Each structure stands twice: as C-alpha cells, then as structure tokens.
A and B are shown apart, each in its own frame.
Chain A
Amino acid sequence: MSIVTRGFTGRRRDDPKLPPGQYLEHTFPVLQAGPTPPVKTSTWKFTITTEAGAATSWDWKRFTALPAEDITTDIHCVTQWSKLGTSWRGVSLDTLLDGIETSAGYAMAKSYGGYTTNLPLPDLRDGKAWVAYSYDGKPLPPEHGGPARLLVPHLYFWKSAKWVTGLDLMKHDKQGFWEKLGYHDYGDPWREQRFQGD
C-alpha cells in the first residue's frame, strides 16, 4: 500500500550511495541506549571466545601492535541517516580471527556497558569488518564507541557495537540487545531490513 501525501514534494537527493529510506547527514549523530561507559585503555581487553569455549585475548598494547588498515566507508544508521566517506583506522577481523579454530556460523558482539548484537560470522570476514580505534585521524571519542568499536559498515550501524570488548562465536544465531526489541537480525540497509519481518 502506498498513498501519495498531498502537498509533499520533498527535496530530491538522489545520491546513488544512499540506501532506500536514508537521508544524507553531515554531522555524526550519537545513538545509544544508556550512558557512555568509561573504558580505559589500561584495562581494556578484547576476547574472542569460540563455540568450544577457547578464548583468545588482546590487551590494548598487543591489539594496537597488530597490523592496522585505513578504511574509508559509508555508514548507515537505522534511524534513517547515512554519512558518506567516513575515515577510520582499525584492525581487520580477518587478522583477529586468523588462527582461531571454529566452525561457528554466528557471532555475538559484546560491549562494555552490557550492549550486545548478533551477526553472521561470514559478515565479519573477508575485509568486511574491523575493530576500529581511530576516527577522522584522531582517537575514537568515547561517545562514538572509543577506545574501540566494531565497524561493519555494510550493515545498519547498530551492528557496529561501540565499546566492543569481545565476540562470542556461536553455532546457532541468538538475538542481541536491539534484535530482541524488534530490530532485524541481519540489517542490510540496501534491502531496508530495519525491523523483524522486513
């Protein structure tokens, strides 16, 4: 069903880089469910736990000593804004997952402050996902997920968990924080998968 809204003409912003239903944003809005948790790099830890329970951890020093990549990418928030050509620096999940034995199909990203979000593990591989610690040439600010956040720009941005502290690899998919509250399990902006059932 679609009805024309009388009197609405809108502004044409037909940028082919904008997924359906998105508008172009020039600032960097902050969206989160609660207060920004204070996370110190001196105690920061990132842990990948396999479905068999084997854990691999990095402290800040070891993590930032890993080979890093510069990433320029568009990001898309489910609240309808998109930001084009954002610059990040971070460690590829391919690097972090290298040598970890798993046959898991899914991952639950876990954050300081208790936030969680679920993703298929293949979406974290092959140069599609990073743990980013720098934005626009500067250390990632706390309100944008600093010191480090997940960056999975081909999915809606709630999947790019702020203040990330680990991944639990899972045989079967489980829902994270927003997914349990009705948001989509996958969240492809080009298919407009905002909510369950989309």
Chain B
Amino acid sequence: MSNALLRPLRRGFTLIELMVSTALMVIIVLAVVSIAADTFKAYDRAVADLSTQSEARSVLDALENDFQTAVIRPDGRCWMEIVLPGSASAGAPANVPVTTGNLNPAEHPIILLFAAPQDRPRWSPVPVVAPAVRTPLKGDVCAIAYRIGQRSPFNTPGAGNQQIYGVYRTIIDSEKTFSDALPIILSSTAAAPKSPWDYWSTTTPGTRNYGDYNQQKYVTAGTPLINTTVSASSGMPWTLDDHNFLASNVVAMNLVLWCTSSLPPSTTVVTAPVPLTDPLKRPSLMLRPVLPVNKTDIYDQGAKFGSGTGYRAAYTTGTSAATTDTAPIHFAPTVPSVPAVVTGTHPYEEFGGRLRIYSDRIYPDGLSSVNAATTTQLPYLPYSLRAVEVSVTVLTPEGAKELALLQSLPSASTSANGTKILANDFKRIVVQQGRAYTRYIRLLSNGG
C-alpha cells in the first residue's frame, strides 16, 4: 500500500481566488490604515485641544476669580497696575525685570492687583517651632500678582535644558497684605504717588515672611517679590516659586482693557481741567480698548503718530474703508483721528512700560497728575476700567516638545541657560502649535 494513496486529496486555492482575496485584503488594509491614520490625527488634535484648554482654563479661571473680586476704591489711589517686563520707556518703573525667554514685553505683562478671591489663604502657616498651631487669618483683601516666567520645574530652577514657560500666580495672605502692602497704597499722595509695584518690587522686604507656605527652597531673605530672572539655584524671586505655579507652556497672555469714559468726545484738545473732554474723541457711551504694545519693535508709540502704524484699537463712526489688519483689535471702518501731539507725552490708549489703574482714570507709562506734558492736555486717560479681555496662548504637547528640543541644542541657543531659541523658530512653533483661548472678564467692583 502506497502512502500516497492515504494522503487526503485537498484542492488548493486557484490562482484567481488567491488574487481576488489578496486584492480585497489589500483594499481593506489600505482603508483601515487610512482610517487609522486619520484617527491618530484626530487623537493628536483631541489631546492637543484638551491639554491646552485645561492649561488655559486654570489661568483664565483664576484671572476671572481675581478680576471679578478686584478692589478698586474711588479714593484717588492706584489699586491695580500692569507692568511690562523689559520696558525701556521713560515711564518704566524702577527695577523692572527683563523679558522672559523669547517673549515680547506686551505678551507677558505682570499684573498686580488687590482682590478677595475664594481660594485665598484662610489660615496662617504652621510655625516650624512649637506650639505648631495655625490660626485663622483676618481680613479678605489679598495682594495678587500674575506673571509668565521661565524656569525648570526640577531642583535646579536655572538648569539650561529644562526651561519651561509657565504662569505663576502669587497671592499674599490678607494679614500680610494688611500689614505690608496696604500701608504703601494708602500712603499715596498726589505729590508722592504709590502703586502696587512699590510693594512688589522693593528690595528691602525686611521682616516679611511671605514664603512661609512652603520650604522656601530657593528664596533668599532680602530678595524682592519680583526681580529679574531665574539665573541660578538661589536668589529666585518668590513669584516664581513652584508654590505659585499655575499652568505650563503658556507663551503669551495678551490683555485688552475695556473702559468707559464719562467725558464727552471732543474734536480738538481743549484746555484742562474745564471743559474736560475725551482727548481721543471716541463716541460716547462706547467701550474703548487700552492695550500694551511692544516698546522694542517698530510699532511703538514713537512711530505711531507719525507713520500711522501701531496696534490700532479703533472705534469710530467714520465710513471709509479699511480692513481688520489696520484696525485689528476690534474692527472700525476708519482709523481714529488722534489729536495732534503738541510736545512730549500724550495720554494714548497704548502703553509700553506700565499702566496704573485708578477707579476713574488711567495713567499710561510715565504720566502723572503732577507731571503733565503741557497745560493743554489731560495728563491721564479719563477712563474707568470695566472689563478685561484676556487671551492666553498655550503650546500643544507637540509644540512644547519641539521647543524643549531646540532649547537643548547648543547651536540654537542665543543666551545662557538655553532659555531662548532663534526668533523665527519660536514664532513658527507658536503659530503652528499655539492654541489661543479668550475670556472676557468684567470688573464687578468698578461697575463692569
């Protein structure tokens, strides 16, 4: 008996069957791969959206909480201030910090205010010595500062290849605010005006103990709350302590301050103080924007009046044509006609150094009530701040990864510690991988 006879007779696939089934399989595999690729793309986008939104939300929620409970008393004193890092204008405050990494000054303003947010410290820190008992804090008004900083989140904040942009919110408890910050504001006079910057920038904090809430790992005694940058593992400002960290990969925090004016518009600048008119002749009963601009680029105020360039925050009732590019903040058909500048400074709706906000007036840059440029101009904007529109730009995880990679390359670094990359690379990453989130926040205490 031959073995071949025992072997079962099995017919194989024909060539046609194989070809058809292979072709079908290829078509299906291609379809699945294509769908999978789309799915992964959608997944990446979803992750980017959710993670950036989560970061932005933590910043915007905190800002909303603080601006809505902000204290702006109509007592002729400055209760809120915005300072631009790296400002070189005549109105820049003393000890202003330099810019952070690749950021423009106008894109990471330092916001200083007083507010009574729900998440303020309610108890004193536990003393390190016995009796280790904490006590409830009196009062509710707290000094608060926001800034975008760049540091390593690890043990050595100045480490060169781990520099991450982040928003830091510093809140001083109500008792320390009462004992240290409020006396500075309340001692303000027309002859010697004071503002929140005087509290946050002082280099002689004395016996202040603002760092009690953590181990004060890097904060050294005598360091101002806000100073220059993180350069080493010591001497770091308290405002950049990890205790104050709010959100990462935030590369811009743009502000538009919406104000009303109680003054009627004018067609010419008239002699102050009587009759008082709005020097920028905006239509009455209309919110007007005030916003920071970069002093370091070509669009600063120096060029504004002559060439017509600048970030135009326009409102007008004119009818001639223009585009959103020439009036980008909120569209207006024509660029507003700004009264001719006589000499020196003029109260304009843009600032490049600091903005001091009072209940019923705003001092951009170096203007003050005792330092008007001429007697024919109002030395300040006769505006009340009603709302703040904040736009934060957050890098996606992909963008953050690429930024970190470029920062770690020695050839790409244009400064020490790997804090900067080439400007065009940075701009490309922000344009491609930045997600912008906006919130319009009303200042309830100032009639917003």
**Does B bind A?**
no
Binding site for A on B (CB under 8 A): none
